[in-house]
Structure 1
Amino acid sequence: MSLDTVVEDIRDEARARAEDIREEGEARAEEIVAEAEADAEETVAEAEAEAERQIEQEREQKLSSAKLEAKQKRLEARRDTLQSVRETVESELADLSGEEREELTRALLDAAEPEFDDADDVVVYGRADDEELLTEILEDYDGFEYGGEYDCLGGVVVESESSRLRVNNTFDSVLEDVWEDNLREISSRLFEQ
């Protein structure tokens, strides 16, 4: 075997070995690229999932906030409506006149009278506009006298120094009791759903 043949065999072997190394390198590079691409895809998928979670969370928060705001506005509108109804009732009570006002005033005075059976110094207060009406009504009650004005829609406040008792039978107090006792029913009638 000649030296040229040996050199040529070594070269062929070196070329084959270099080709094997290059192929192994390319295969390893392809593996690394494939792993990197898989990692990148996984990272992108995780980022997309996290973004979707955040979007959903923000959507839920905004929806919840909007629902709460709508509920608050609905409650505020209901409060305003109830207040308007109450003001209308108060206005109608204040505007009562004639026989109807006299009947209601007498009924409230009659309801208070039994509390003052033994008293002979009973003083009755009422709305300033009702002074004439009260003075006329009190002529029918022994020991009762008109004591002056009381800031109210109508009705009477009856008191006696000797019995240290005061009965508030004003339209305002009756309305307050009726309103509180029936607020749920009033509300359900106004806002049937």
Structure 2
Amino acid sequence: MSLDNVVEDIRDEARARAEEIREDGEQRAEEIIEEAETDAEELLESRKTDVERQVEQEREQALSSAKLEAKQKRLEARRDVLEDVRGQVEEELAALSGDRRETLTRSLLDEAADEFDDDADVVVYGRESDQSLIEDILEEHDGYEFGGTYECLGGVVVESQQSRVRVNNTFDSVLEGVWEDNLKEVSSRLFDQ
């Protein structure tokens, strides 16, 4: 074998080895590209899922926030209506006159009088415009006198220094009790719950 043949064999072997290395490199490059493309698709799918989840979450939060705001506005509107109704009731109570006002005032005074001893000196306060009515009613009660005005819709505040008892039987206090006891029913009737 000649030297030329040996050189040629080494070159052929080197070319074959180079070709083999090139093919391995190309195959490895294709595998890397496939892996990268698969990773990119998975990442894209993951990001897409994350974005969709975030969008859904934000939509739910916005919807929840809108529902809460609507509920608050509804409650505010109901509170305003209830305040208007109570205001109308107060106006009607303040405007009561004649026999109806006298009957209610007398009844509230008699109820308060039950809290005091018969020999007690009792002072009665009432609405300024009811002074003469209260004084007329007090003529029927020994030891009772009109003590001055009290800011209210009507009725009486009765007190005795001896027993240190004070009874608030004003239209306002009666309305407060009735309002609290019946607020749920009033609300149901007004808003058909």
SS at match of 2:115: helix
- Calculate the TM-score normalised by the size of structure 2: 0.89
C-alpha deviation, 1:57, in angstroms: 2.2
SS at match of 1:132: helix
Residues 61-86 of structure 1: CA deviation (Å, up to 9, x unaligned): 22222222222222222221211111
Match of 1:113 in 2: 113
Equivalences for residues 66-85 of structure 1 within 5 A: 66-85=66-85
Is the Cα contact below 8 Å between 1:119 and 1:162 reproduced in 2?
Answer: no
Distance in 2 between the 1:185 and 1:108 partners?
25
C-alpha deviation, 1:174, in angstroms: 0.4
SS at match of 1:115: coil
- Calculate the TM-score normalised by the size of structure 1: 0.89
The count of corresponding residues between Structure 1 and Structure 2 is 193
Match of 2:163 in 1: 163
SS at match of 2:114: helix
SS at match of 2:153: coil
Match of 1:23 in 2: 23
Greater mean alpha carbon deviation, residues 101-110 or residues 44-53: 44-53
Residues 73-119 of structure 1: CA deviation (Å, up to 9, x unaligned): 22222221211111111111111111111111111111112222423
Match of 1:152 in 2: 152
C-alpha deviation, 1:4, in angstroms: 5.9
Distance in 2 between the 1:37 and 1:4 partners?
48
Structure 2 stretches lacking a partner, 5+ long: none
SS at match of 1:163: coil
Distance in 2 between the 1:12 and 1:164 partners?
126
Match of 2:95 in 1: 95
SS at match of 1:49: helix
Matched residue type, 1:109: L
Distance in 2 between the 1:102 and 1:118 partners?
23
Match of 2:133 in 1: 133
Distance in 2 between the 1:57 and 1:119 partners?
75
SS at match of 1:183: helix
How high is the sequence identity, in percent, across the aligned residues?
72
Is the Cα contact below 8 Å between 1:105 and 1:156 reproduced in 2?
Answer: yes
C-alpha deviation, 1:143, in angstroms: 2.4
C-alpha deviation, 1:164, in angstroms: 2.2
Structure 1 stretches lacking a partner, 5+ long: none
Distance in 2 between the 1:132 and 1:4 partners?
145
